[in-house]
Structure 1
Amino acid sequence: METRKEPHSVLITGGSSGIGLGLAARYHKAGHRVLVTGRSPERLAAVAEELPGLATFANDIASPQGRQDLADHVRQAMPDLDVVISNAGIQRRIGIAVDNAPWAEVQNEIDILLAGPVHLSRLLVPQLLTHRRPSVYVNVTSGGAFLPQPFAPLYSAAKAALHSYTMNLRHALQATSCQVVELIPPAVATQLAGPGQNHGADPEKFCDAVFPLLDGSRPSVGFGPTAQPDFTESLRAEQARFAAASSRFEISLYQGDGTAGPMR
């Protein structure tokens, strides 16, 4: 992303705790306008009190109407949006053989982790392109997208699908000023999986390390295990294979004004 003198306008989903809150605090401290979302009005109120001037919006990213309501709100409250951090997530830690939860609970996980980010990108990318300024769209995946986790199999599968979609989103936006970044956390000690399930990297150290790298200058950002040379080399090899195969069929891509045009 090109350096701008004026503040960025930043939307962070799942910004009331964990990685989302850590990044929100850093954008806010750096003087940018920040809007965070979450399902709990009480938690959002606490965040707004902790970070005066930060804006909040309560919604459920699992709901199609909730996503539409968020997009409508952003168009009104933050028309100059130029940074999106699609971070909202949950993690059900239960193996396939013993997962007898009602399907609605399972579907909710899929909706938050996959349907939500995909739908939100469809709603927000045209807005990012309207003002024609450089912008960044960040999808938060996981190391589990690349190494399936038996203790959280559906989470791993959804993140793997989001990784694939993020590569295609980047491809679709290649002729525009919107850069697509995949943030790939390893295990980070947040409350993602619920109380008592937090293990992994220190959230503050993680956010300190990745925050300056989310400027659109690189396609993926990792930390610890997901920033090691073997991991990053595997990503580069995957991207090379994708680039070689992506022109097999002619498709339309986003143009700079948000419309679709022929593949270049």
Structure 2
Amino acid sequence: MEVKEVLEKVKAGEMSVGEAEAYFRRQPLEELGYAKLDTHRKLRSGFAEVVFCSGKADEHLLRIYERIYMAEGEVLGTRASKEQAALIQGTFCEAEYDPLSKILKIEKKDKARVGKIAVCTAGTADIPVAEEAAQTAEFFGNHVERIYDVGVSGIHRLLAKVETIQSALCVVAVAGMEGALASVIGGLVDKPVIAVPTSIGYGASMKGLSALLTMINSCANGIAVVNIDNGYGAGYMASQINRLGVHEAL
């Protein structure tokens, strides 16, 4: 629960002062032996702990989902396999799995989404990474506009969407090959651009290294770069920027 939610429960008589005090005094982590759940992360950063599913043992993954769900009422997992999705859905029928982005989540319904984040891709092959970014941002309560397949090989496709991109509080630019999309967008907007290099491309792209170097060396201003294929990191950072923009507008 968030601090405000606890205080509202006390105000409504649904929780005693003693129960609220015990809630705030609890340890900032839950020791599971194989994992230490950061139960105070949402209080510190505004976002609860997210589960990186890849490589986790089945029993560990299931237990972690159970504990986070009990504490937060929802769980976001990234890089989940189809087998892991089946495991979680066997216990939580409300769990949703997207095989494209590999997002495995249990999400609160009717969640308000604020602001605007534009998530753009150079090509359709970049969409899995872009969807990881977009769905991460949406889970954290942000409105996302998807603008896919607008790479520089047909720049008129991008220019046709400039107004939508410029209206966003933050832009995520996802591209493989030579990674030029972020630089082009950076020269068109007055908001931060988060560049995401992908491992899409032929041999000399070196599994995303070429795009990464292009983005790091961009001559356009206002561009930050995350790791290769790190859609989650881009979605998280975009959420923080979007929140700042929304708060400033209020």
In the superposition, the TM-score normalised over structure 2's length comes to: 0.31
In the superposition, the TM-score normalised over structure 1's length comes to: 0.29
Larger Cα Rg: Structure 1 or Structure 2? 2
